[in-house]
A and B are shown apart, each in its own frame.
Chain A
């Protein structure tokens, strides 16, 4: 038959059990019925036997908890995060310019090297092609200009010679007539 304890008696018994066993009062109050408390209170001597083992058990658990907390603390530290480190490195690399930036990204293979090289090769091919075309056209145009210059020089020389010949062998008036004729036609 269960004997109902008063609140005061229950507390007193819990205090005794806690003292004998090393188990915290709040745990005993939360997990033990009146009947169990009454029963345990009768065997305090037995409980005191396991007190030191229980205490040691709690000590070890606290040590493990402390260790786990320490690890958790380290884990939670942003400085030790691999993702954070990668982000920091990427930001640093991207803040570089030109060749430095390219080499930095290339170290971690963050540039599609083969694609890039292929593009550069294609670009060089196009440039070479264009360069050849421009050089060829320029040379060809220069040759044409030279030929026209020579022809022009030759015609001007011939005209001057004709003019001199007519002025010397006929008279200036004749040349003047020829000039007018050319102008009219």
Chain B
């Protein structure tokens, strides 16, 4: 695999700040071997999933700072970018001085990059999800599992409500 950094070297990144630094520096490098698209960069990977539904909330993921971000907090609120996070606090996705659309596309590591740096560029460990769901997930590796469980429970409830006793 034509990786910029070999797996055994990634494995030796013990600090999450070091892992993040490598990840951020590789955004435009073709470090991901995608089964369908070949070697692509994280940014190219993200772009492939633009306007696709988020696998968790199902909302359309958007991309393009020109249309989906603003430097004004008030403007972001007016645009409806503010939402209530899992702790119940009002929040807006922010990177640097920019405020982003809640469903702006992000690239998530299924297994935390800080805990499993050797899988930093593995395509099967990467997933395009919306920023809001990414925030909700945080560093919880059981997020996907819990989501599947909630989904099954909602199916069960639907079946129950659809067939009440007469």
Q: Which positions in A face B, CB cutoff 8 Å?
A: 102, 106, 111, 113, 116-117, 120-121, 123-124, 127, 130-131, 134-135, 138, 141-142, 145-146, 149, 152-153, 156-157, 159-160, 163, 179, 183
Contact assessment for A145 and B160 in the assembled complex, using a CB-CB cutoff below 8 Å:
no
User: What residues on B are CB-neighbors of A113 within 8 Å?
Assistant: 166
Q: How far is the CA of A111 from the CA of B9 in the complex (A)?
A: 69
Quick one: closest A residue to B16, CB to CB?
A: A156
Contact assessment for A163 and B14 in the assembled complex, using a CB-CB cutoff below 8 Å:
yes
Contact assessment for A142 and B142 in the assembled complex, using a CB-CB cutoff below 8 Å:
yes
B140-166 residues at the A interface, CB under 8 angstroms: 141-142, 145-146, 148-149, 152-153, 156, 159-160, 163-166
Contact assessment for A149 and B8 in the assembled complex, using a CB-CB cutoff below 8 Å:
no
Q: Chain B's interface: helix, strand, loop or mixed, by majority? A: loop
Quick one: closest A residue to B115, CB to CB?
A: A152
User: What residues on A are CB-neighbors of B156 within 8 Å?
Assistant: 127, 130-131
From B14, B15, B115, B116, name the one whose CB has the most chain A CB atoms within 10 angstroms. B14
User: What residues on A are CB-neighbors of B59 within 8 Å?
Assistant: none
Contact assessment for A145 and B165 in the assembled complex, using a CB-CB cutoff below 8 Å:
no
Q: How far is the CA of A120 from the CA of B162 in the complex (A)?
A: 10
Quick one: closest B residue to A106, CB to CB?
A: B166
Contact assessment for B160 and A141 in the assembled complex, using a CB-CB cutoff below 8 Å:
no
Q: Which positions in B face A, CB cutoff 8 Å?
A: 8, 12, 14-15, 112, 114-116, 139, 141-142, 145-146, 148-149, 152-153, 156, 159-160, 163-166
Q: How far is the CA of A146 from the CA of B142 in the complex (A)?
A: 8
Contact assessment for A183 and B142 in the assembled complex, using a CB-CB cutoff below 8 Å:
no
Q: How far is the CA of A141 from the CA of B166 in the complex (A)?
A: 38
Q: How far is the CA of A149 from the CA of B142 in the complex (A)?
A: 10
User: What residues on B are CB-neighbors of A131 within 8 Å?
Assistant: 152-153, 156
Contact assessment for B166 and A116 in the assembled complex, using a CB-CB cutoff below 8 Å:
yes
Contact assessment for A120 and B165 in the assembled complex, using a CB-CB cutoff below 8 Å:
yes
Q: How far is the CA of A142 from the CA of B148 in the complex (A)?
A: 12
Contact assessment for A149 and B141 in the assembled complex, using a CB-CB cutoff below 8 Å:
yes
User: Which residue from A117, A123, A138 sits with its C-beta under 8 Å from B146?
Assistant: A138
User: What residues on B are CB-neighbors of A116 within 8 Å?
Assistant: 166
User: What residues on B are CB-neighbors of A146 within 8 Å?
Assistant: 142
Q: How far is the CA of A127 from the CA of B3 in the complex (A)?
A: 48
